Amino acid sequence: MNFNKNIVLENNRVGLAALQLTHFEKLLPIAISQPNLLQYSPSPFGNANNLKKYIQIAVNAKASNPPFYGDRLLIK
């Protein structure tokens, strides 16, 4: 599979796309208002700094072109 393509799955109700830095502004209010949204995730992102790190790690992982990416994003 070509991970360099920006594939988006969407219909009239929902869209699913790989994380991009441009998603930060739309995700920030959700991350702040729902700090426990991913309480069992190894990568909490309840504030702007952690969310930006989380997205950057996902973008970097995709760019490294592994067979699968994003299933274990750890903020260090």
| Token code pair at residue 61 | 């992982």
User: CA-to-CA distance for 11 and 62, rounded, in angstroms?
Assistant: 24
* 53/76 Cα distance (integer angstroms): 9
Residues contacting residue 42 through CB under 8 Å, at least 6 positions apart: 72, 73, 74
As a whole number of angstroms, the distance between CA 65 and CA 58 comes to 11
- pLDDT at residue 60 in the model: 87
Q: Taking 80 as the threshold, does the pLDDT of residue 11 lie above it?
A: yes
Query: Which pLDDT score is estimated for 71?
Result: 52
Q: What is the pTM of this model?
A: 0.71
**pLDDT reported for residue 10:** 93
What pLDDT was estimated at residue 12?
96
Amino acid at 72: R
At 14-66, the pLDDT tens digits run 999 888 999 999 999 998 898 788 777 777 778 899 899 989 988 888 887 65
